[in-house]
Chains A and B, each alone.
Chain A
């Protein structure tokens, strides 16, 4: 049984149906990616999993437990980390405060300090800017902060929404390297990327979404090689 099992999920914004029977699963230790055009429902899927959006129908099970009716803070406590679309760092708080808030659900000061040290080792730029307001960071630095902050809760599953958006090619390489590193240390990853080719190249499996439905699901290598997926989503 997978760590995360989403079944027949429907979700809507007002009257507009955003998800139409989405099913997917993520096994422990995997990197799974959701690809698809803008508006396909990728972000909505993540928001429904983390409880920010209440699903109209369907089920979400995490580690065997139904979580689709739980509030977001309960879901975080169960081990789902979510680095949301647009980074959403606390702009008027320092980098350190942002990271501490990431560990809000945890109590042990020493463990939190150790994890913050680990984030600083992964992202040395954040250490340099630890006392600076997050709003003064560059886009790339904010992305590092958003990822670091999500890691501070020690999630079993880390969901990343467009971590490479708007970053320089060099920085994109760094971020993808870090994602692999995080995964290698045992964190399961569910990744959304507009850069589908690159996402599929580091993922174990992928799902292709189109107007709120899963249209393809397969091993990442198979999707990368598939003619249909290539022409529609990978630019030929």
Chain B
């Protein structure tokens, strides 16, 4: 039981990162029905941007006191901004002109963008994993039989707070409503006076910024990053988005946490589990696609964006 609870915490913190990435997949799918395969790489790029900022600030280990808040805020915001702008640029270069093309075309440019980003990152930081400063002290909280690291709490709380902020934005603000309208009916949205190019760019900005935040968090959490990180993390986050019901914000969140949990439990309870986790995770994808293609929270007509 103790082991189970411990893995529950581990799974949730793992899932928090997937959830943040999954939000971007699901938002973009909601608005232009495109699987943005470059999204996982934007997440990795987030850790690279964050690393560059930390290096610039001269941070190489843990930061204490009031400086910690400053360093974290500056780094996260910079990573979010850079990733957000990268996302906007990707949409402008690779997807916008293909918006009315057959579905396969933007899918292929998406894969192309993914390769480009991976290669750019490889040129930037080399082909090997790079170490990432721990930045945030990680006192362990003993909660009965289980140990929770401060960083784990940070991951889970950040993911949940960002999801709620996103929900508020989408359901309560004028721009959020414009995004939902554009997702539901692009022509009708234009007839309301909504500039759909701006709205779609905004969707990429927000989704990619969330991936940037996830990039920073994963760097801090794992203490390392690698140009190819986003490939696997991206696929798992995509699985999470499908599991929750693609196009559905709360679904992406739920899916992310579930995938994290499945991964943690598979590692623990399947003999030689660590080697089987990916098999288990992607089997879940296959099963969902077969038995519940609209996902756990997806309606047959999903609430998109």
Is the Cβ of A84 less than 8 Å from the Cβ of B181? no
Task: For the complex formed, measure the closest distance between the CB of A30 and the CB atoms of chain B, giving whole angstroms.
Answer: 22
- A141-184 interface (Cβ within 8 A of B): 149-150, 153
B194 at the interface (CB under 8 A from A): yes
Q: Contact at B188–A92, with CB atoms within 8 Å?
A: no
* In the complex with contacts A76-B193, A104-B193, A105-B193, A93-B180 CB distance below 8 A: yes
Within 8 Å by CB of A52, from B174, B187, B193, B303, lies B187
A77 neighbours in B (Cβ, 8 Å): 193
Are the CB atoms of A92 and B187 closer together than 8 Å? no
Looking at B174, B192, B194, which has the most chain A CB atoms within 10 Å of its CB?
Answer: B192
**Total residues of chain A contacting the partner, CB 8 A:** 26
Taking a contact as CB atoms under 8 Å apart, the answer to whether B185 and A90 are in contact is: yes
Q: How many residues of B contact A (CB 8 A)?
A: 20
* A91 nearest CB neighbor, chain B only: B184
Is B62 an interface position by the 8 A CB rule? no
Least distance between A131 CB and chain B CB atoms (Å): 14
Task: Tell me if B191 and A84 are in contact (CB < 8 A).
Answer: yes
List residues of chain B with CB within 8 A of the CB of A76.
Answer: 190-193
**A56-91, CB < 8 A from B:** 71-73, 76-77, 81-82, 84, 88-91
- For the complex, what is the distance from the CA of A92 to the CA of B300, rounded to whole Å? 12
The B interface, classified by DSSP as helix, strand, loop or mixed, is helix
Q: A92-B303, A93-B180 are in contact. Are A102 and B185 (CB under 8 A)?
A: no
A-side contacts of B194, CB under 8 Å: 73, 101, 104
Asked if A27 CB lies within 8 Å of chain B CBs, one says no
Chain A residue nearest to B301 (CB atoms) is A92
In the complex, the answer to whether A101 meets B178 with C-beta atoms within 8 Å is: yes
Q: A50 contacts the other chain (Cβ, under 8 Å)?
A: yes
The answer to whether A101 and B195 have CB atoms under 8 Å apart is: no
B195 x A73 contact (CB < 8 A): yes
Check: A7 CB closer than 8 A to any chain B CB: no
Q: Is B64 an interface residue (CB 8 A)?
A: no
- A136 → B minimal CB distance (Å): 12
Contact A153 B185 (CB under 8 A): no
Compute the total of residue contacts between A and B using a CB distance below 8 Å: 67
A-chain residues with CB within 8 Å of residue B304 when the two chains form the complex: 92
Give the CA-CA distance A84 to B188 in the complex, in Å.
8
Contact in complex: A82, B191 (CB < 8 Å): yes
Contacts of A210 in B (CB 8 A): none
A71, A89, A101 interface centre (most CB from chain B within 10 Å): A101
> Could you tell me the distance between the alpha carbons of A97 and B66 in the complex, rounded to whole angstroms?
44
Q: Which residues of A contact B125 (CB under 8 A)?
A: none
A100 within 8 A of B: yes
Query: Quick check: A88 and B185 within 8 Å, CB to CB?
Result: yes
Q: Which chain A positions have C-beta within 8 A of B188? A: 84, 88-90
Bitwise interface map of A from 198 to 212 toward B, beta carbon under 8 Å scored 1, else 0: 000000000000000
Interface residues of A, Cβ cutoff 8 Å to B:
50-52, 71-73, 76-77, 81-82, 84, 88-93, 97, 100-102, 104-105, 149-150, 153
- What are 19 A-B contacts with C-beta separation under 8 Å? A52-B187, A52-B191, A72-B191, A73-B192, A76-B190, A76-B191, A76-B193, A84-B187, A84-B191, A88-B188, A93-B181, A93-B184, A101-B177, A101-B181, A101-B189, A101-B194, A104-B174, A104-B178, A153-B192
Give 8 A-B pairs besides A73-B192, A82-B191 with Cβ atoms closer than 8 angstroms. Answer: A81-B191, A84-B187, A90-B185, A92-B180, A93-B181, A101-B177, A153-B192, A153-B193
Name B residues whose Cβ lies closer than 8 Å to a Cβ of A. 174, 177-178, 180-181, 184-185, 187-196, 301, 303-304
